[in-house]
Homo-oligomer: A and B are copies of this chain.
């Protein structure tokens, strides 16, 4: 049983990152940058009340990722991991998730900080980040437990850009 699920972009992300290589690998990285989310006018009415939240969860379509790999060597580490145990983009459904900082809203444009997303990426959904829902106590990060702190200083290379391999 495999049913197609069809989504359409609600907007587009504008960022300084033109290439999958040399990007911050997470929003918390030092290389993360300001960016904007341009919401298409037909969806702008859904932005009401968003301005009170300091952080948003963005869900977006990883439109430049050319393939699915069930095993990947992530940026943090040298061992092949199951893709669902990583944040690598070569997922069966290439949905990206970033927690970003909301700076301001002007009409249908969200001004964001801590963006780690490729320019031109189609935006699928915006959710308010709510500590009581999204912040489990005492979380343990598996193989990333030690390496997660390296994310501040690391950038991507081109491993997820080229086809094949």
Contact = CB atoms under 8 A, between A and B. Distances in A.
Chain B CB within 10 A, most for which of A84, A86, A93, A101: A84
Interface in A1-49: 2-10, 26-28, 43, 45-49
The contact size tier of chain A is: 35 or more
A130 B144 contact: yes
A103 interface: no
Taking the full assembly, how many copies of this chain does it contain? 2
Interface of A: 2-10, 26-28, 43, 45-55, 57, 59, 61, 70-71, 81-87, 91-93, 95, 97, 99, 101, 122, 124-136, 138-145, 148-149, 151
Contact of A132 (B81, B130, B141, B142): B141
B46 A87 contact: no
A139 B8 contact: no
A2 B87 CA distance: 27
Given A45-B70, A148-B133, A127 B87 contact: yes
A53 B5 CA distance: 28
